[in-house]
Amino acid sequence: MNPIIGVSSNLKGEAISVPTANVHAIARFDGVPIVLPNLQDAGLDIIVDRIDGLLLTGGGDIDPTLFGEEPHPRLGSIVPERDAFEIQLVQKMLEKNKPILGICRGAQILSIAAGGDMYQDIYAQSPAQLLQHDQQAPNWYASHFVHVTEGTILSNVAGVEKFKVNSFHHQAVRNVPNGFLVSGIASDGIIEAFESKNHPFVMGIQWHPESLLMKDDLISAAIFERFIDACVK
């Protein structure tokens, strides 16, 4: 069976959009990508019933009032409609025990929807001496390492203790929600991956495996394969 995968979208003005690398990644591993609207009245329950899994894509910043903070001076542009739609969507998917893969912003909104929080700007708010997390290199290029937590789904998928990823963000998960564990960190301590302890496959990753697939990155392929396999089951 080819699973139907809901793919979250960007919203700008009257247009919704999704980078094609996301839908190509789903199709490459025999999923059927369906681009989702950012409308809370668009039949959320029907959407959740019809899709087999959810891919939360990258994008802009997230409204900090959703996790109890006011805007930091370095907060970028936000889209309240997208935030509200995705949070409700994630919560319903978790209730139904359906697979979720959150990428970059998608990882952050997954954390917020499940009760975690995040840095509005890692460079201003993290106490650590940071790496460059907004790389000045092509999106298919892996620029820094992720160190993997032993015994996690990510460890099983990757098969190595550390590997290189690309990086395009200034926000990041600060504290993972209850029921989740950190499965990968950057060398500077920034959370790069986390996953649910209570669901077969619910994972957030801070990098962009869909872009690394342009160079046939094996670990990126393995992540999508495991996600699609979970959606089939």
Q: Which residues are catalytic?
A: 104, 208, 210
Say if residue 202 is exposed, middle or buried (CB neighbours under 10 Å; 0-12, 13-18, 19+): buried
Q: For residues 107 and 56, is the Cβ–Cβ distance under 8 A?
A: yes
Kindly tell me the number of DSSP H helices and DSSP E strands found in the chain: 8, 13
**For residue 213, what are its two tokens?**
């697939």
**For residue 174, what are its two tokens?**
């600060």
Dihedral in degrees, nearest 10, Cα atoms 143, 75, 211, 222: 80
Q: For residues 132 and 167, is the Cβ–Cβ distance under 8 A?
A: yes
